[in-house]
Structure 1
Amino acid sequence: MPKFLIQASYTPEGTKGLLKEGASGRRAAVDQIVTGLGGAVEVMYFAFGEDDVVLIVDVPDAVSMAAISLTVKASGALRTRATPLLTLDQIDEAARRKVAFRAPGT
């Protein structure tokens, strides 16, 4: 199952919701949306700085991740980034594939 790194920062309204629900309330909400699409939350941490929340999730496919992202962003409570994570074996496989490429101007 594909893994994604999700980095999120709360808007002022989202922060108010976090203060009202607490971290465990938000974890439950994240679990619900991810498991509802057949995925699982591997890890979830709260942070401070540019990102307020960092997660690693397993989801069935990129379309499921896009559905989660669109739904969460539409709420206006968070700004998020989802980065696909690849295993060492996947990178080794990619490195073995031959790709026809010509650099610009060559």
Structure 2
Amino acid sequence: MPKFLIQATYTSEGAKGLLQEGGSGRRAAVDQVVTDLGGTVESVYFTFGDNDIILILDLPDPISMAAISLAVKATGALHTQATPLLTTEEIDEATRRRVTFRAPRG
């Protein structure tokens, strides 16, 4: 199952919601969305700095990730970035595939 790293920053409205629901409330909301699409939440961490929350999700496919991303961004409560995570074995497979590419020359 594809794995994704989600980095998110709350808007002021999102932060107000976090203050009302607490971290457990937000975790429950994330769990519901992900499990409804057939995935699992590996971890959720609240952070300081550029991001307010970091999640690692396992989802059935990239389309599920896109659906979550669109739904979350449409609320305006968070700014998010989703990064696909590849295993060592997946990179090993990629190194075995031959790709013919010619770099541009000036």
Q: Over residues 42-62 of structure 1, what are the superposed CA-to-partner deviations in whole Å (9 max), with x where a residue is unaligned?
A: 000000100000000000000
* Greater than 6 Å deviation, 4+ residue runs: none
Q: Give the % identical residues.
A: 71
Secondary structure at the counterpart of residue 105 of structure 1 = coil
Give the Cα separation in 1 of the matches to 2:23 and 2:7: 16
Matched, 1:12 2:12: yes
5 Å-filtered alignment, 1:1-106, equals 1-105=1-105
Q: Give the unaligned 5+ runs of structure 2.
A: none
Residue identity matched to 1:26:
R
TM-score (norm 2): 0.98
For residues 34 and 74 of structure 2, what CA distance do their matches in structure 1 show?
16
Alignment partners' CA distance in 2, 1:33 and 1:70:
12
What displacement does 1:64 show? 0.3
Aligned-pair Cα RMSD in Å: 0.8
What's the TM-score once normalised by structure 1's chain length? 0.98
